[in-house]
C-alpha cells in the first residue's frame, strides 16, 4: 500500500533581501522594507511530505528516524540563524521562502522519498517545492468582507429557496472571505524569487481586495448581476481578474482558493487557463454546500 505522510517542524530565523551589486535605490525599489539592515525574522513552519510503501510495521518511514533527519539536516542548522550566512546556497541566491524550500528539498532528497516541501514564512505567505528543477509555488493569503444573495433572476423565490435554502433570502447575508492566491514560476538564480512579492501583493490588493471589500456582490459588482455569487463563481471571477496581470509579472496563476466559512471553501486550478480573461467561461454553479 502506497501512502503519503507529512512531518511538521519549526525553526526561527532572520534574513535580508539585498544584492550588493545593485545601488541602494534599486534594492529598495525591488525589495521594499525587506532591504532594511540587519534583517528581519520569522517563525517558519515546515511540512515535509514523503511517499512510499508501508513496511511490516505499518509505516512509510519510522517517525523517530524522520524527526532525527529533519532536525540534523535542517532545523538544528537554521534555528536562530541568519539565513544569508548559514548555508553556501544563500551566498549566490537570496534566502527567499521559495528558494529556501528548494534548498531544504535538495538537502533531504538523498535520504527521504520526498513529494513536497511546504514552508510557511508566516500564515499569509508560504512556498511549495516539488523537485521540478527551478519551478516553485508561492501563495499569498488575504481577506475581504462582502455580502451576497444566492438566487437566479429567472426563478421565483420559492424555486431559489429549493436550491439555495436560506442563502436565497432577499436581503442577503455576509462572509469574511479568506483568499489564497497561488502562483507558479521559475526561481530567479540571483534574487531567489519566482515573482516580485511586493508587486504581487499590491496587485491582489488593488484588483481584488479593494473593489470587493464591504460590497453587496449582487448589486455592486456588475459581473454578478446575472451570475450567482457562489464561492465557486467568486473564485472564477477572481481568477479572471488576476490571470493576465500575474502573467505580466512573469509568473503563472496556479490556483485560487476561497474560504467562505470554516465549513465551505472552493479551489479553482488555473494552470491550463489561457492568459486572456475574456475566454473564461461564465458559469453559474449549483453548489453542493451553501450557507
83-139 pLDDT per residue, tens: 999 999 999 999 999 999 999 999 999 999 999 999 999 999 999 999 999 999 999
Same domain, yes or no: 144 and 120: no
For residue 77, pLDDT beyond 50:
yes
Digit-coded pLDDT (tens) for 148-171? 999 999 999 999 999 999 999 999
What is the average pLDDT across 275-279?
42
Same domain, yes or no: 43 and 181: no
Nearest residue to 45 (alpha-carbon basis) of 7, 83, 102: 7
Same domain, yes or no: 9 and 99: yes
Digit-coded pLDDT (tens) for 23-57? 999 988 888 888 988 999 999 999 999 999 999 99
Could you tell me the CATH number of the domain that includes residue 52? 3.30.479.10
Residue written as cell 480573461?
277
For residue 285, pLDDT beyond 80:
no
For residue 70, pLDDT beyond 60:
yes
Give me the domain span that covers residue 223.
134-291
pLDDT number for residue 30? 86
Domain count, the chain: 2
Same domain, yes or no: 106 and 139: no
Pick from 132, 149, 183: which residue ends a domain?
A: 132
Same domain, yes or no: 197 and 272: yes
What is the average pLDDT across 230-239?
96
Residue pair 266/231 in contact by the 8 Å Cβ criterion: yes
Residue pair 135/214 in contact by the 8 Å Cβ criterion: no
The model's confidence at residue 289, banded by pLDDT at 50, 70 and 90, is very low
Instruction: List, by residue number, the catalytic residues.
Output: 167, 214, 260
Same domain, yes or no: 200 and 170: yes
pLDDT number for residue 273? 59
- Categorise residue 285: left if φ over 0, alpha if ψ from -120 to 50, beta otherwise: beta
pLDDT number for residue 204? 98
Pick from 97, 132, 167: which residue ends a domain?
A: 132
Same domain, yes or no: 175 and 286: yes
Digit-coded pLDDT (tens) for 196-232? 999 999 999 999 999 999 999 999 999 999 999 999 9
pLDDT number for residue 271? 66
The model's confidence at residue 279, banded by pLDDT at 50, 70 and 90, is very low
Same domain, yes or no: 148 and 208: yes
Same domain, yes or no: 257 and 122: no
Same domain, yes or no: 54 and 138: no
Same domain, yes or no: 3 and 27: yes
Same domain, yes or no: 7 and 86: yes
Pick from 98, 132, 166: which residue ends a domain?
A: 132
Beta strands in the chain (DSSP E): 2-15, 40-53, 81-82, 114-122, 125-129, 135-148, 173-186, 215-216, 252-261, 264-269
Distance CA 18, CA 30 (A): 9
Amino acid at each position: 500500500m502506497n501512502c503519503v505522510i507529512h512531518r511538521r517542524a519549526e525553526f526561527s530565523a532572520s534574513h535580508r533581501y539585498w544584492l550588493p551589486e545593485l545601488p541602494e535605490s534599486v534594492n529598495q525599489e525591488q525589495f521594499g522594507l525587506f532591504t532594511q539592515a540587519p534583517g528581519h525574522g520569522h517563525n517558519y513552519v515546515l511540512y515535509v511530505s514523503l511517499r512510499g510503501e508501508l513496511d511490516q510495521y505499518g509505516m512509510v518511514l519510522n517517525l523517530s528516524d524522520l524527526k532525527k533527519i529533519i532536525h540534523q539536516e535542517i532545523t538544528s542548522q537554521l534555528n536562530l540563524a541568519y539565513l544569508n550566512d548559514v548555508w553556501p546556497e544563500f551566498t549566490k541566491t537570496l534566502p527567499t521562502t521559495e528558494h529556501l524550500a528548494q534548498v531544504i528539498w535538495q538537502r533531504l532528497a538523498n535520504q527521504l522519498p520526498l513529494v513536497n516541501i511546504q514552508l510557511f514564512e508566516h500564515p499569509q505567505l508560504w512556498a511549495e517545492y516539488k523537485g521540478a528543477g527551478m519551478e516553485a509555488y508561492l501563495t499569498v493569503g488575504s481577506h475581504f468582507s462582502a455580502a451576497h444573495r444566492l438566487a437566479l433572476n429567472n426563478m421565483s423565490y420559492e424555486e431559489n429557496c429549493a436550491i439555495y435554502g436560506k442563502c436565497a433570502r432577499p436581503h442577503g447575508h455576509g462572509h469574511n472571505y479568506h483568499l489564497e492566491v497561488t502562483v507558479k514560476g521559475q526561481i530567479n538564480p540571483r534574487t531567489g524569487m519566482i515573482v516580485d512579492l511586493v508587486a504581487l501583493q499590491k496587485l491582489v490588493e488593488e484588483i481584488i481586495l479593494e473593489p470587493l471589500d464591504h460590497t453587496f456582490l449582487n448589486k455592486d459588482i456588475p459581473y454578478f448581476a446575472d451570475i450567482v455569487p457562489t464561492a465557486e463563481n467568486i473564485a472564477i471571477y477572481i481568477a479572471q481578474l488576476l490571470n493576465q496581470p500575474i502573467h505580466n509579472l512573469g509568473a503563472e496563476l496556479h490556483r485560487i482558493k476561497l474560504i467562505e466559512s470554516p465549513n465551505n471553501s472552493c479551489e479553482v486550478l488555473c494552470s491550463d487557463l489561457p492568459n486572456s480573461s475574456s475566454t473564461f467561461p461564465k458559469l453559474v454553479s449549483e453548489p453542493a454546500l451553501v450557507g
